[in-house]
């Protein structure tokens, strides 16, 4: 699913070494926490997976695509294999919940009939069917994050990347969102959660990769349930 081989990333603009010779592998269907302090290299790690940045050295494979060989025009097709959830939700305020989720489908050219079937199903999955016609400003932080999650899920990606998904929600909601991600993972989707909240990592006994100063300093390895599979 995701393979990093001796990946180093140095930003040419300021010479910062964000990742230093990172090698790791995340299998299909895993649930992985990426933890680390601010500036440790977590965001760069995600940007490299999404191909927003290219490595200075090393090679990356995501969903069977060798990113160093990936042509610019093929990048959108890589991104269609993943759903991204941001800390600040990034919902379009003038659109309703339904439209925000449908927007992700329209962007990849899905037909109206498919959208009309799929969006209510996904909204039901995240528990927001009744809020379909509300605008993001009418929702709580937790609900907004669930809309963001619905948008990430609607195109049926094989990988969900959540960048600090609980950063802007209260602890109770954080737990609910993590449970939702766990449910999605149980259905076969690989989930990658970047967080600095140790409580969450401790409550959900999943694989945890710790990054510090651009290096992987610890990796708990594949979680017990994955080994059982």
| Residue 52 within binding range of other proteins, rule CB under 8 A | yes
Q: Between 21 and 87, whose beta carbon lies closer to other proteins?
A: 87
Total number of residues that touch other proteins (CB under 8 A): 25
Q: Between 77 and 121, whose beta carbon lies closer to other proteins?
A: 77
Q: Between 15 and 109, whose beta carbon lies closer to other proteins?
A: 109
Question: Binding other proteins by CB under 8 A: which of 11, 108, 140, 217?
Answer: 108
Q: Between 76 and 171, whose beta carbon lies closer to other proteins?
A: 76
Residues 73-102 that bind other proteins (CB under 8 A): 73, 76-80, 83-84, 90, 92
DSSP secondary structure, the chain, as one string = -EEEEEEEEE-TTT--EEEEEEEEEE-TT-EEEEE--TTSSHHHHHHHHHTSS--SEEEEEETTEETTT--GGGHHHHHTTEEEE-TT----TTS-HHHHHHHHHHTTT--HHHHHHHHHHHHHHTT-GGGTTS-GGGS-HHHHHHHHHHHHHTT--SEEEEESTTTTS-HHHHHHHHHHHHHHHHTT-EEEEEE--HHHHHHTT-EEEEEETTEEEEE--S-HHHHH-
DSSP secondary structure, 22-54, as one string = EEEEE-TT-EEEEE--TTSSHHHHHHHHHTSS-
In whole angstroms, give the CA distance from residue 151 to residue 128: 12
Give me the least distance between CB of 54 and other proteins, in Å please.
Answer: 10
Give me the least distance between CB of 110 and other proteins, in Å please.
Answer: 8
| Residue 111 within binding range of other proteins, rule CB under 8 A | yes
| Residue 53 within binding range of other proteins, rule CB under 8 A | yes
Q: Between 26 and 153, whose beta carbon lies closer to other proteins?
A: 153
Only segment of 27-35, 106-114, 127-135, 173-181 that touches other proteins (CB under 8 A): 106-114
**Tokens representing 140?**
């709580």
Give me the least distance between CB of 78 and other proteins, in Å please.
Answer: 8
Write the binding mask 141 to 160 for other proteins: x where contact by CB under 8 A, - elsewhere: ----------x---x-----
Which residues bind to other proteins, rule: CB under 8 A? 47, 50, 52-53, 73, 76-80, 83-84, 90, 92, 103-104, 106-112, 151, 155
């Amino acid at each position: 699913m995701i393979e990093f081989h001796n990946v180093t990333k140095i930003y040419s603009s300021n010479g910062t070494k964000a990742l230093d010779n990172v090698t790791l592998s995340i299998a299909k269907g895993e649930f992985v926490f990426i933890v680390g302090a601010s500036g440790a290299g977590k965001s760069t790690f995600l940007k490299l997976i999404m191909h927003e940045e290219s490595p200075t050295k090393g090679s990356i494979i995501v969903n069977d695509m060798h990113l160093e060989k990936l042509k610019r025009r093929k990048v959108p097709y890589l991104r269609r294999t993943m759903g991204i959830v941001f800390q600040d939700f990034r919902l379009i305020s003038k659109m309703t919940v339904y439209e925000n989720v449908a927007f992700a489908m329209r962007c990849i050219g899905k037909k109206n009939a498919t959208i009309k079937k799929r969006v209510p199903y996904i909204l039901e999955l995240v528990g927001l069917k009744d809020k379909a016609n509300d605008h993001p400003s009418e929702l709580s932080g937790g609900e907004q994050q669930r809309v963001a999650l619905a948008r990430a899920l609607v195109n049926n990606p094989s990988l969900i990347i959540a960048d600090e998904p609980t950063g802007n929600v209260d602890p109770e909601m954080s737990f609910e969102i993590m449970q939702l991600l766990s449910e999605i993972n149980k259905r076969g989707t690989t989930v990658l959660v970047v967080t600095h909240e140790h409580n969450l990592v401790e409550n959900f006994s999943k694989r945890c990769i710790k990054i510090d100063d651009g290096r992987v300093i610890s990796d708990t390895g594949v979680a017990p349930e994955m080994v059982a599979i």
